Amino acid sequence: MKKINNPTQNTWSEILKRPTQSFADIEETVKGIFKEILQKGDVAVQKYTSLFDGSSSENILVSKAEIEEATELVSKELKQAIEVAKNNIYKFHEAQKTEKIEIETTEGVFCWQEKRPIQKVGLYIPGGSAPLFSTVLMLAVPASIAGCTEIVLCSPPNKQGKINPAILYVANLCGVTKIFKVGGIQAIGAMTFGTETIPQVYKIFGPGNQFVTVAKQVATQYGVGIDMPAGPSELLVYADETSVPSFVASDLLSQAEHGTDSQVILVTTNNEVLKAVEKEIYLQLEKLPRAAIAAQAIEKSKLILVENEQLALDLINEYGPEHFIICSKNEGFFIDGIQNAGSVFIGNFTPESAGDYASGTNHTLPTNGSAKTYSGVNLDSFMKSMTFQKITEKGIQNIGKSIEIMAEAEGLQAHKNAVTLRLKKIK
C-alpha cells in the first residue's frame, strides 16, 4: 500500500483518484454491443455470452427444474443464514414505508402525494468467482415490499451454462419473476431494449464491474432508469489509537478481495496505528484464498496520515467513500460531520461485512465518488412519488387571479384562458 504523510489539500484530488478506467475508455465498446442487441436481440445476447463467459447454452431462461435442482444443492446451514439476513433486510426496508401526505394549501385547494411501485425492474447480480447471492436479497426484498409486478434478474452463467445455486435459491425465495443466464454489457443491453426472451424493464439495479457500470449509464440514454453508478467496491476506514489494528486490517481486506480494481484507504492521525494496520494487512493477506486478487487491490490502495481530525473529515468528505468505518474515541465528531458516504459503520464491533450480509441495511451503494449525489438502494428506489390535486370552485377563485397574472407575464395565453373560462363560469 502506498503511504502518504500529511498531504496538502491541493494534492487531494490526485491522491484520491480511483483505479478505474474512464467512461470514455469503455463507452464505445458498450454502445457497439447495445446497437447489436437492439438489431439482433437474443442472437447478439448469446454471441456475447459465449464470447465473454464461455457459455453457449441456447436456453437463457432459467427453468423451474433448474430452480428446484439449485434448491436441493443449497445446504440447510446456508438456508438458515439466508433466512436470518432476509428477515433483517425485510424489517429495515419495511420500516421505510411512508404514509400519504395531504395538505390544503389554500382554502379549496387540496394537494397530496402518494407513492407507486415501479412496475418492471431489472436486477443485475454479479457472478464469476464471487457469486453475490446476498445482492439478490438486497434488491429483490425491497422490490417485493414496494410491490413491483415484474422483477427480472440477470446473472452471468459459468462455462457449463449454469448460475450459482444460491443465487437461484434466493431469487426464487424473494419473488423474482424471471431469471436469465446472461451477464455483463449484454445483460444490461437486453434489459434496456428487451429481446425475444428477455423483457424490457423501466429501471435497472445492481453492482458490477466497470463495463456493467458504464452500460448502466448508457442505458439511461435510452430512457431506462438506474439505481446509481455502482462500480468496483471501495472502503475507507478512519482509525485512532482506540481501534483494533487486526479488525481494521480485516475490514480493508474484506473489500480488497472483491476485485483487483477495488480500492481501500486508511486515514489516521496516528503513525503507530498506520504501521500496526499495515503489518496486520500483510499478515492476514497471506492466509486468504483470494490473496492474489486482494494483493492487486492493496497495491493500488493507500495509508494516509493527516495532522488532525478536522483534516481527516474534510479529506473523507472529498473522497465520498462507498463504505466508511469509524473507529475513534471521537466517533460523534465523524458521525455528525460526514456528508458524503454510501453507508457508515461505527465502532470496533461493526464490520463492513455486517452490512454486506445480515444487519439489515442495503449493500448496493454509490461508488467512485457518486456518494456525493446518490443514495444507496432503499425502498424508495423501487417507487416513484406521484402528486395529486383537487380544486373546488372556492379554491380556483382563491388562486385563479395569481395564475392569470403569472401566465400572462410568461406570455402563455392558453394557460391564462384555462383559468379565466372557469372563473367566468362560476360567476
Answer whether residue 21 shows pLDDT above 70: no
For residue 306, what are the CA distances in angstroms to 7, 8, 269, 315? 7, 9, 5, 9
Question: For 56-89, what is each residue's pLDDT tens digit?
Answer: 878 999 999 999 999 999 999 999 999 999 999 9
pTM for the predicted model, two decimal places: 0.94
Q: What's residue 219's pLDDT?
A: 98
281 belongs to a structural domain: yes
Same domain, 78 and 207: yes
Same domain, 282 and 205: no
Same domain, 161 and 243: no
Same domain, 255 and 151: no
Q: Name the active-site residue from 257, 280, 322, 352.
A: 322
**Is 68 annotated as catalytic?**
no
Same domain, 147 and 283: no
367 belongs to a structural domain: yes
DSSP per-residue letters across 47-80: HHHHHHH----S--BPPHHHHHHHHHHS-HHHHH
Q: Which residues does the annotation place in the binding site for NAD(+)?
A: 124, 186, 209
Same domain, 414 and 349: no
Same domain, 187 and 79: yes
CATH number at residue 321: 3.40.50.1980
385 belongs to a structural domain: no
Same domain, 124 and 245: no
Q: How many domains does the chain have?
A: 3
**Is 318 annotated as catalytic?**
no
Q: Which residues does the annotation place in the binding site for Zn(2+)?
A: 255, 258, 356, 415
Q: What's residue 299's pLDDT?
A: 93
Same domain, 257 and 365: yes
Question: For 211-235, what is each residue's pLDDT tens digit?
Answer: 998 999 999 999 999 999 877 889 9
- What residue numbers bound the domain in which 162 lies? 23-99+118-227
Same domain, 35 and 122: yes
Question: For 396-423, what is each residue's pLDDT tens digit?
Answer: 999 999 999 999 999 999 999 999 999 9
Q: Name the active-site residue from 323, 393, 404, 408.
A: 323
Same domain, 166 and 204: yes
380 belongs to a structural domain: no
92 belongs to a structural domain: yes
Same domain, 281 and 180: no
